[in-house]
Structure 1
Amino acid sequence: MTPVYEAESGIDAQLVCDLLLSAGLDALVFGADLAGGIGELPAAGLVRVWVAPDQVERARALIDEWQAGGIPDEDELNRLADSGTGNGELWA
């Protein structure tokens, strides 16, 4: 697994993870349970979303599009899940 997104919170991470899962990627949230340790642990960089190494390019492209405000509709997510190309051409 490879980290593709450093979240501000567990909720933020879960939103991104759900977006990636909806696009057919294998995504997991790591570190959400560490938020209670702030004060003893660093306050940033604890919560991350990880994907399989062969899905990194697709995941980062989808996250970039999401952050730019281009939230895909259900049809687009289904197309992404069906394509499985892994070539980063998400919005072609």
Structure 2
Amino acid sequence: MKTAYDAQNLIDAQLVCDLLHSAGIPARVSGAGLLGAAGELPAIGVVQVLVADDDLERARGIVTDWDAGEIPDEEELTRLADQAPDDDVDLLA
């Protein structure tokens, strides 16, 4: 698993995670349990969105567009999902 996005907060991370899922990229939020240690940990990089190694490049492209305010519409998300490999990735492995 690789970091596709370093989130500012849990809501930000979940939005990106949902966006990636909509594009056919399995993703998960990591570090949500560490938010209770705020003040003890650095503010950035605690909450991340993780994807499989093979999906990293595509995920970062989608995140970059989203970060720039280019939110894909439903047609674009369908096109991206159709391009996704058909393999089942177990994110918890």
Identify the TM-score tier after normalising by the shorter chain. Answer: 0.7 to 0.9
Inter-partner Cα distance in structure 2 for 1:67 and 1:18:
14
What residue number does 1:83 align with? 83
| Percent identical residues | 59
Q: Deviations over 1:35-75 (max 9, x none)?
A: 11112333321100000000000000000011111100111
Q: How far is the alpha carbon of 1:84 from its aligned partner?
A: 2.0
Inter-partner Cα distance in structure 1 for 2:26 and 2:11:
18
Q: Which amino acid aligns with 1:38?
A: A
Segments ≥4 residues shifted beyond 3 Å: none
Inter-partner Cα distance in structure 2 for 1:22 and 1:2:
19
TM-score by length of 1: 0.87
Secondary structure at the counterpart of residue 63 of structure 2: helix
Aligned length: 85
Which deviates more, 18-27 or 37-46? 37-46
Unaligned 5+ segments in structure 1 are 86-92
TM-align CA RMSD? 1.1
What residue number does 2:88 align with? none
For the pair 1:9 / 2:9, whether they are aligned, the reply is: yes
TM-score by length of 2: 0.86
